[in-house]
Amino acid sequence: MPAQLLVKQGHQVVLHARNAQRATDARKALPQADAVVIGDVTTIAGAKSVAAQANGHGRFDAVIHNVAVGYQEPRRIETEDCMPEVFAANTLAPYILTALIERPTQLVYLSSGLHRGASANLDDVAWIKRRWNGSAAYSESKLHDVLLAFGIARRWPEVFSNAVEPGWVATRMGGKNAPDDLDQAHRTQVWLAAGDAKVTASYFYHLQPANVNVEATSEALQDQLFEICEKLSGVKLP
């Protein structure tokens, strides 16, 4: 939906898909897209490949980091890199892509209202010390995304880096009974990506500033998350 609206506004768009079949589906949904990069970013190698493919299309004005897996994981699913899939997709992948894709002007990270009830738990991002809880793992990963957004805004002052709460909407992840407005979920992403909001280190819900977990503003936690992601991925943030 963000891509469709961006194309309608006259922007060029490159999509991302997990695999070749999903890429075909994406092409059918938006034939006006310039290209589709392909890769499973739950793996470090996959995220690095997606970044390399993206860079092959030149520098982007904006990157929307909306890749994620959901909050209903009933058990700890481990990736080939020996990390929980939720952390790998929702936290580590945006970090790797941010670090390796040529620096854009606008960065948009998708979070969730559930982040407000979470703690970063950076001493156990792999869920080794704790009993697995899919909802809690998702919620803290969405807090991590705000930490990434705000930390990047601080480190890269020439980049507008913000986080977005799309709302609890009726997607496959949200479920058919989700109460929020699906038509509003993508509009803030587009507003930020198109450069219409000259703000950084902010958190938005439906085009308006929204309350954020106080942990997201901690520079110490931001730096600690960067250090953890660098150690796990072997990718240093420029």
121-161 residue pLDDT tens = 999 999 999 999 999 999 999 999 999 999 999 999 999 99
CB contact set of 11 (below 8 Å; sequence gap of 6+): 194
- Give catalytic residue positions: 138, 142
Q: Is the pLDDT of residue 173 over 80?
A: no
**Mean pLDDT within 156-179:** 81
- Map out the domains of the chain as residue ranges: 2-10+61-233
84-104 residue pLDDT tens = 999 999 999 999 999 999 999
Q: Is the pLDDT of residue 168 over 70?
A: no
DSSP symbol at 56 = T
CB contact set of 154 (below 8 Å; sequence gap of 6+): 201, 219, 222
CATH number of 2-10+61-233: 3.40.50.720
Residue 183: what pLDDT? 77
**192 CB neighbour count, 10 Å cutoff:** 27
182-228 residue pLDDT tens = 778 899 999 999 998 999 999 999 999 999 999 999 999 999 999 99
Residue 178: what pLDDT? 64
Residue 220: what pLDDT? 98
Convert 12-44 to b/e letters by CB count within 10 Å (16 or more is b).
ebbbbbbeeeebeebeeebeebebbbbbbbbbb
6-60 residue pLDDT tens = 999 999 999 999 999 999 999 999 999 999 999 999 999 999 999 999 999 999 9
CB 115 within 8 A of CB 213: yes
Q: Is the pLDDT of residue 71 over 90?
A: no
Q: Of 184, 230, 190, 229, whose CA–CA distance to 91 is shortest? A: 229
